[in-house]
Amino acid sequence: MRNTFLSCIILLGFICGISAQEPQDQQERQSLRDQEETDSNYIISEEDVLSITVRNEPEYSVTGRSVRMDGRITLPMLGEMHVSGRTTKQLEADLTERLKYHVREPIVQVFVDKVFSHRVTVAGKINRPGLHAITSPSTVLEVITRAGGPTATAKVKKIKIVRYVDGKEVQFLFNYKDVIRGKNLHQNILLENRDLILIP
């Protein structure tokens, strides 16, 4: 009887452990999905360094290819291609379409190895305000962290990212407390060249 009782306690503890782990695992999976979506929305700029892989087709793949100042790169078999201003997801779709004439069911992946062209400004109640260079695709949280984080008196729920698109100002809201707790991660966007982070 005693052994049966102990076995029940152990089994109950195991089940509770699994139940507690499931929400955590779901949060981690969601975080990965959010990060993948964020990466796919990165906008390529001049001087960025790209690697493009076509599965099982090494002759169409390139590594360490810099985007020229005219926004173009040269690709094997496809020649010159304008890539600046496109997201990595858009470029993957375009390359997939073009390669259909050369490769059966091409599977294309675009990676940004280095970012040289992006500079963002962090202003307001931040420990290290000023201009910050981005050398790889970076989110709002990553840049705020590099800038030393908000000061003790900062209104971290009301941070704004200011961006100019076609000459018009666009603002994005960023709740620092939510993001560091793993909530509303869609706010943690990838920054673009000349973005301004305002921390009141």
**122-180 tens-digit pLDDT:** 999 999 999 888 877 899 999 999 999 999 999 999 999 999 988 899 999 999 999 99
Superfamily of domain 49-114, CATH level 4: wza like domain (3.30.1950.10)
Which one, of 37, 17, 13, lies nearest residue 25 by Cα? 17
Look up residue 101 and give its amino acid.
Y
pTM of the model: 0.54
pLDDT score at 86 = 87
Q: Is the pLDDT of residue 84 over 50?
A: yes
Q: Is the pLDDT of residue 1 over 70?
A: no
**45-55 tens-digit pLDDT:** 888 899 999 99
Look up residue 185 and give its amino acid.
L
Distance CA 133, CA 119 (A): 5
Average pLDDT, the chain: 83
Q: Is the pLDDT of residue 38 over 50?
A: no
Q: Which residues of 86-125 are buried (b: 16+ CB within 10 A; e: fewer)?
A: bbbebbbebbeebbeeebeebebebebeebebbebbbebb
Distance CA 119, CA 140 (A): 13
pLDDT score at 76 = 87
CATH 3.10.560.10, applies to 117-199? yes
pLDDT score at 25 = 52
Within this chain, domains 49-114 and 117-199 share the same CATH topology: no
Average pLDDT over residues 106-132: 89
Distance CA 30, CA 185 (A): 9
Average pLDDT over residues 173-200: 95
What is the sign of the dihedral through the CA atoms of 34, 189, 38 and 132?
Answer: negative
DSSP-derived 3-state class of residue 11: helix
- What is the C-alpha end-to-end distance of the chain, expressed in Å? 65
pLDDT score at 8 = 52
Q: Is the pLDDT of residue 103 over 70?
A: yes
pLDDT score at 132 = 87
pLDDT band at residue 13 under the 50/70/90 scheme: low
Say which residue, 31 or 65, is predicted with more confidence.
65
How do the domains of the chain map onto residue ranges?
49-114, 117-199
